[in-house]
């Protein structure tokens, strides 16, 4: 918290005070309220490359994934790049490829199309061309906890004759003042979504010091539960770059003290008494003997899904089938709305046995398996990972009123079709009546 206190040969150390954290202001995340220069995110030397086909320049793009924009419009990446002049490179084919975590976005030519005779007059006057400027929009879904911007120069040497040497040590760079701006995004998300937890620790990392988070431990935690707890909180602190100084740790009997916080519940089914209470909003049931089951959907849930976006009944039936004959080493991660406070989240990391708790905790730290963590229920059984969506959804964050139709209708195409048909009827029926009255008046006039 205060490394400057440990300087020199002798230091008198006082108790450091943790700073008050504001939402989304983690040191390893993009600033939420201003454009940020790429030179602030990486060392300036990392923005320079050598050779005609060098490796990519990588810049971390990390923030909470609850970004909402109108019709998912992208965030502007304003690039300023410098490359060797035309006598060295074939500027017609040389380019800069812009990608985010392997997703290709755009190829930028190293020189803009010149306008003659203005370009000729500028060269005759000795004007030196400035850096190439370009703006690339980055989709909101590509900016989250573990993504990175990739900028790859692909420079082709200019053919200058058969016996003319080509310089090998060409250099290119991205200007450190190039910026990315996410400040116009609103913060809103539909939960539960375990993919947010796996990629960015959301919603617990909304405040970097976890001061809105509490961990509910068993009354008598064993070494496996303690290990899972330390590993998970250490992973969250690594994502934001801040120690978890605001975290609260409680027993099941102390839930009332942390009712206003987001909760992480760790333990075995038999040893964690808080699981039945905190997961009562889910159709997940903990039976006597430490067994899991899922209540099957009723017939009306298919219609409810079309109108209100309820979870797909097929997912619940598939999860119930899997739990009816689980393989060895069963463990699960479940997310739901907190029954203690609306809008707060609960994530349970649990299993029937301590070995299952250990296996599911290791899964959350495995980079190869993190992309497969989706939905609101993840089951690990016999080494196989399955994701489901079975719990009711809820919203966190705020949206301005003009974005609500975009959010609500974006995932409900049947409602959009119904509104279109309703609008057509509202226009057609009065128009038909008016035309009929006009026709009657015309006939009477004859």
Chain segment 379-421, per-residue pLDDT in tens: 998 888 999 998 888 999 998 888 887 777 766 677 778 878 8
DSSP letter (8 states) at residue 46? G
Report how far residue 17's alpha carbon sits from residue 5's, in angstroms, rounded to the nearest whole number: 12
- Count the Cβ atoms, other than its own, within 10 Å of residue 146: 16
CATH architecture label of 36-184 = Sandwich (2.60)
Give the pLDDT confidence score for residue 118 in this predicted structure.
53
For the segment 314-370, what is each residue's pLDDT rounded down to a tens digit?
Answer: 888 888 888 887 777 889 999 999 999 999 999 999 999 999 999 999 999 888 898
Per the CB < 8 A criterion, the answer to whether 325 and 243 are in contact is no
Domain borders along the chain are: 36-184, 188-397, 412-445
Give the pLDDT confidence score for residue 122 in this predicted structure.
52
Look at residues 138, 135, 132 and name the one whose alpha carbon lies nearest to residue 175. 132
Report how far residue 211's alpha carbon sits from residue 208's, in angstroms, rounded to the nearest whole number: 8
Query: Distance between alpha carbon 329 and the CA centroid of its chain, in Å?
Result: 29
Per the CB < 8 A criterion, the answer to whether 106 and 142 are in contact is no
Contacts of residue 399, Cβ cutoff 8 Å, sequence gap at least 6? 68, 186, 188, 407
Contacts of residue 310, Cβ cutoff 8 Å, sequence gap at least 6? 301, 304, 392
| Token digits of residue 47 | 């923005």
Look at residues 239, 244, 240, 242 and name the one whose alpha carbon lies nearest to residue 229. 244
Q: What is the DSSP string of 81-105?
A: EE---TTTB-TTT-EEEEEETTEEE
Segments of 113-146 assigned E as strands = 132-138
Give the pLDDT confidence score for residue 70 in this predicted structure.
82
Report how far residue 247's alpha carbon sits from residue 184's, in angstroms, rounded to the nearest whole number: 30
Q: Measure the CA angle with vertex 62, ends 132 and 236; round to 5°.
A: 165
Give the pLDDT confidence score for residue 119 in this predicted structure.
53
Look at residues 402, 410, 286, 395 and name the one whose alpha carbon lies nearest to residue 348. 286
For the segment 187-218, what is each residue's pLDDT rounded down to a tens digit?
Answer: 999 999 999 999 999 999 999 999 999 999 99
Give the pLDDT confidence score for residue 82 in this predicted structure.
86
| Token digits of residue 270 | 């038999």
As a residue count, the chain comes to: 446
Give the pLDDT confidence score for residue 59 in this predicted structure.
94
For residue 319, CA distances in Å to 247, 292, 295, 377, 409 come to 33, 10, 10, 9, 28
**How many helices (H) does the chain have, and how many strands (E)?**
10, 22
**Which residues, given as ranges, of the chain have pLDDT below 70?**
85-91, 112-130, 159-168, 289, 298-310, 410-412, 445-446
| Token digits of residue 338 | 């907190």
Look at residues 395, 398, 396, 377 and name the one whose alpha carbon lies nearest to residue 387. 377
Terminal alpha carbon distance of the chain = 94
């Amino acid at each position: 918290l205060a490394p400057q206190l440990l300087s020199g040969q002798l230091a008198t150390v006082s108790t450091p005070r943790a700073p008050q954290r504001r939402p989304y202001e983690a040191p390893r995340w993009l600033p939420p309220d201003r454009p940020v220069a790429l030179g602030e995110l990486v060392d300036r030397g990392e923005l320079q490359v050598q050779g005609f086909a060098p490796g990519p320049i990588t810049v971390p793009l990390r923030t909470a994934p609850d970004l909402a924009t109108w019709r998912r419009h992208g965030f502007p990446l304003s690039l300023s790049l410098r490359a060797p002049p035309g006598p060295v490179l074939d500027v017609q084919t040389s380019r800069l490829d812009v990608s985010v975590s392997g997703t290709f976005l755009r190829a930028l030519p190293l020189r803009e199309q010149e306008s003659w005779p203005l370009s000729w007059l500028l060269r005759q006057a000795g004007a030196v061309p400035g850096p190439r400027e370009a703006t690339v929009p980055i989709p909101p879904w590509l900016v989250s906890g573990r993504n990175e911007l990739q900028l790859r120069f692909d420079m082709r040497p200019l053919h200058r004759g058969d016996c003319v040497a080509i310089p090998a040590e060409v250099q290119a760079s991205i200007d450190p003042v190039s910026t990315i701006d996410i400040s116009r995004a609103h913060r809103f998300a539909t939960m539960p979504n375990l993919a947010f937890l796996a990629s960015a620790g959301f919603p617990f990392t909304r405040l970097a010091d976890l001061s809105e988070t509490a961990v509910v431990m068993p009354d008598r935690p064993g070494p496996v539960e303690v290990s899972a707890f330390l590993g998970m909180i250490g992973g969250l602190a690594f994502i934001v770059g801040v120690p978890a100084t605001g975290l609260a740790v409680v027993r099941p009997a102390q839930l009332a003290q942390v009712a206003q916080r987001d909760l992480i519940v760790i333990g075995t089914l038999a040893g964690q008494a808080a699981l039945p209470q905190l997961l009562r909003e889910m159709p997940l049931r903990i039976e006597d003997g430490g067994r899991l089951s899922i209540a099957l959907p009723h017939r009306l849930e298919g219609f409810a899904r079309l109108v209100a976006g309820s979870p797909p009944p097929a997912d619940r039936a598939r999860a119930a089938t899997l739990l009816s004959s689980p393989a060895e080493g069963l463990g699960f991660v479940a997310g739901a709305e907190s029954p203690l406070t609306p809008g707060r989240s609960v994530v349970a990391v649990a299993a029937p046995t301590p070995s299952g708790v250990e296996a599911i905790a290791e899964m959350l730290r495995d980079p190869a398996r993190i992309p497969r963590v989706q939905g609101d229920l993840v089951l690990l059984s016999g080494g196989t990972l399955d994701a489901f969506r079975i719990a009711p959804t809820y919203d966190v964050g705020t949206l301005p009123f003009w974005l609500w139709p975009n959010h609500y209708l974006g995932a409900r195409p049947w409602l959009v079709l119904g509104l279109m048909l309703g609008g057509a009827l509202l226009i057609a029926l009065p128009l038909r009546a008016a035309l009929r009255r006009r026709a009657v008046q015309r006939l009477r006039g004859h």
